[in-house]
Amino acid sequence: MAMKLDSYLQLFFLGCFYFSWFLSSPAEAAVRKYQFDIRVKNVSRLCHAKPIVTVNGRFPGPTVYAREGDRVLVDVTNYAQYNISIHWHGLKQFRNGWADGPAYITQCPIKTGHSYTYDFNVTGQRGTLWWHAHILWLRATVYGAIVIMPKEGRMFPFPQPHGETKIILGEWWNSDVETLVNQANKLGLPPPTSDSHTINGKPGPLFPCSSKHTFSMEVEAGKTYLLRIINAALNDELFFAIASHNMTVVEIDAVYTKPFTTRVILIAPGQTTNVLIKADQPRSRYFMAARPFMDAPVPVDNKTVTAILHYKGIPNTVLPSMPKLPAPNNTNVALRYNNRLRSLNSPQFPAKVPLKVDRHLFYTVGLGANPCSSCQNGTQLTASLNNITFVMPKVGLLQAHYFHIKGVFKTDFPDRPPVPFNYTGVPLTANLGTSLGTRLSKLAVVLETLIPPKTLLSLT
């Protein structure tokens, strides 16, 4: 009864929110204010209970609603034991980069007992984005959706749905995530894979102790629904499908696409995808399911997370049917899906691509191995960009630039790799060390950036 009451209250307040938008003029709807309280809360999943960091005690956190053109103010107060910052993923921060949120890049993190107000404008964007913590691995539990509605009087460039639902894909570790990361760094190893993926914070009934931790979406036969799908998993690309139902992709990362119909989508970490589904199948219960795509020899949590698409009036005793997901290493499905993605490029939403390039950048993203006294074999796997491993500063880079603080960073990041080699060939086995530094590249021109799929190093 409490769960039903909570759902009714959420629907009531969401309805009031949209109704107030409809009645108000653009001037009255210009400022959206939110309060984020960072608190630790005990949460149970997979037969394990542990304290996690949350926003307002919710996992996932609250949704930030705005309309294109609005100003958004989010006051964040940190009551947790960790320093924290919040990043507004995918939001274009025109002339308010200090509100972007990456710790030690645009700001120093918010200390325990302190507050910070993020102040930004939503300019030239509409659709689904998301926010998350941007320090340590706190983003494993500190995340939520951003829903940007079109300007007043503007409609979606696709059939108007009867309803909509957020589908946030995430990960769950039974152990404390920060402890796992610290241990991995000390040993020079990647952190262990998650114990499960989640949909809206819940692993679904295929996992132990999870029958009550299953997200369910109710639909009415014959109606069309918009799913705002967000991949909040830390590292995994994910296949997602709904048993017996087609999906029509209409938006990626708050950019409208040429609609196309598919049985499965592929969504990268940090990416958002909006799809339309029509409840046009026999009235029953159907699993929505996701699992990773990984075609490299890298360990992943390849278990399947599920939620339920539930036709109205069907009893919960009906067993849901399972969609057919691609194999975790099915590169062909991944390539076919990505090759179908095209911008809408309509008169109302043109694809304005600069045709003149002022400067060419060639970046290689890879792994190296640097000396480490506490690590196994005396070396630590280290990520690099053009063979440079980023060293986190102790003051925000934007603050150092603004206040002219010397010695924090250099502006000599190279436009090309220092030593050319076959970037996609056989993995290197020698000269695997990387340079360390806080080196930036000054940009004030139209750029063409090439990032080849550099081969992962095989360290044995």
DSSP structure string for 248-300 = EEEEETTEEEEEEEESEEEE-TT-EEEEEEE--SPSSEEEEEEEEE--SS---
Q: Is the pLDDT of residue 70 over 80?
A: yes
pLDDT at 311: 99
Q: Can you tell me the mean pLDDT for 272-301?
A: 96
pLDDT at 127: 98
pLDDT at 67: 97
- Indicate the length of the chain as a whole number: 460
Residue type, 193: T
pLDDT at 325: 98
Rounded to an integer, what distance in angstroms lies between the CA atom of residue 216 and that of residue 310? 7
Q: Can you tell me the mean pLDDT for 29-37?
A: 92
pLDDT at 312: 98
Q: Is the pLDDT of residue 14 over 70?
A: no
Give the torsion through C-alpha atoms of 152, 157, 163, 169, to 10 deg.
Answer: -110
Q: Is the pLDDT of residue 5 over 80?
A: no
Q: Is the pLDDT of residue 103 over 80?
A: yes
CA angle (286, 292, 294) in 5-degree steps: 145
243-247, 295-299, 300-304, range with the lowest pLDDT: 295-299
Q: What SS3 class is residue 378?
A: helix
Confidence of residue 289 (pLDDT cuts 50, 70, 90): very high
| Residue 315, CA atoms < 13 Å, CB-side half-sphere | 2
Q: Can you tell me the mean pLDDT for 274-278?
A: 99
DSSP state of 453: -
Short-list 441, 423, 430, 435, CA closest to 389:
435
Q: Can you tell me the mean pLDDT for 45-49?
A: 97
Q: Can you tell me the mean pLDDT for 396-422?
A: 94
Q: Is the pLDDT of residue 4 over 90?
A: no
Higher pLDDT, 306 or 445: 306
Best CATH choice for the domain 2-149 from the list 2.60.40.420, 3.40.50.150, 1.10.10.10, 3.30.300.130: 2.60.40.420
pLDDT at 428: 76
Higher pLDDT, 3 or 382: 382
Give the C-alpha distances (Å, rounded to integers) separating 16 from 69, 128, 223, 225, 375. Answer: 20, 20, 22, 20, 55
Each residue's pLDDT tens digit, 137-169: 999 999 999 999 999 999 999 999 999 999 999
Give the C-alpha distances (Å, rounded to integers) separating 343 from 91, 126, 265. Answer: 18, 14, 16
pLDDT at 73: 98
Residue environment code for 329-366, b if the CB has 16+ CB neighbours within 10 A, otherwise e? ebeebbeebeeeeeebeeeeeeeeeeeeeeeebbbbeb
Q: Which fold has domain 359-450?
A: Immunoglobulin-like (2.60.40)
pLDDT at 445: 63
Q: Can you tell me the mean pLDDT for 356-371?
A: 91
Confidence of residue 25 (pLDDT cuts 50, 70, 90): very low
For the chain, give every residue range classified as CATH 2.60.40.420. 2-149, 163-339, 359-450
Q: Is the pLDDT of residue 291 over 90?
A: yes
| DSSP H stretches of helix in 330-396 | 331-339
286-290, 337-341, 381-385, range with the lowest pLDDT: 381-385
pLDDT at 21: 44
Q: Can you tell me the mean pLDDT for 325-344?
A: 98
Rounded to an integer, what distance in angstroms lies between the CA atom of residue 252 and that of residue 245? 20
Q: What are residue 144's DSSP bridge partners?
A: 131
Q: What SS3 class is residue 54?
A: strand
Cβ atoms of residues 290 and 265 within 8 Å: no
In the chain, the percentage of residues whose pLDDT exceeds 90 is: 80
pLDDT at 446: 61
pLDDT at 7: 40
Q: Can you tell me the mean pLDDT for 443-460?
A: 55
Kindly report the CATH class assigned to 163-339: mainly beta
Is the peptide bond preceding residue 102 cis, with omega within 30 degrees of 0?
A: no
Q: Is the pLDDT of residue 354 over 70?
A: yes
User: For the chain, what is the mean pLDDT?
Assistant: 91
In the chain, the percentage of residues whose pLDDT exceeds 70 is: 90
Phi and psi, residue 332, nearest 5°: -60, -45
175-184, 209-218, 307-316, 424-433, range with the lowest pLDDT: 424-433
DSSP string, 5-29: HHHHHHHHHHHHHHHHHHHS-TTTT
Rounded to an integer, what distance in angstroms lies between the CA atom of residue 441 and that of residue 223? 50
Confidence of residue 456 (pLDDT cuts 50, 70, 90): very low
Q: Are strands 255-262 and 196-199 parallel, antiparallel or unpaired?
A: unpaired
Q: Can you tell me the mean pLDDT for 188-194?
A: 91
Rounded to an integer, what distance in angstroms lies between the CA atom of residue 16 and that of residue 87? 28
Q: Is the pLDDT of residue 131 over 90?
A: yes
